[in-house]
Amino acid sequence: MYFDSMADALAMGGHGVFVWGAYGISFVIIFFVLLRPVMSIRTLNAGIRQEVLRKQSAQVAQENAS
């Protein structure tokens, strides 16, 4: 590590708030753009699977009736 202690690394010679803040905000933005499609795909897939199962069971019921 370049710094002598973790406290030095946090302080960054008085610029700690700026440096850590910049990284923090960037990671929050990256986290949200990453999470949005992942969650959306999950919800969509669950809906499609449900629909496929519903169609299948409807088909089976129809075959049994005839």
Contacts of 11 (CB under 8 A, 6+ apart): none
User: Based on the number of CB atoms within 10 Å of its own CB, is 19 exposed (0-12), middle (13-18) or buried (19 or more)?
Assistant: middle
Place of tokens 């700690």: 16
Considering the rule CB under 8 A, would residue 59 count as an interface residue with another protein? no
Of the residues 4, 29, 60, 61, which one makes contact with another protein according to CB under 8 A: 29
Of the residues 30, 58, 59, 60, which one makes contact with another protein according to CB under 8 A: 30
Task: List interacting residues with another protein (CB under 8 A).
Answer: 1-3, 9, 12-16, 18-19, 21-23, 25-26, 29-30, 32-34, 36-38, 40-41, 44-45, 47-49, 51-53
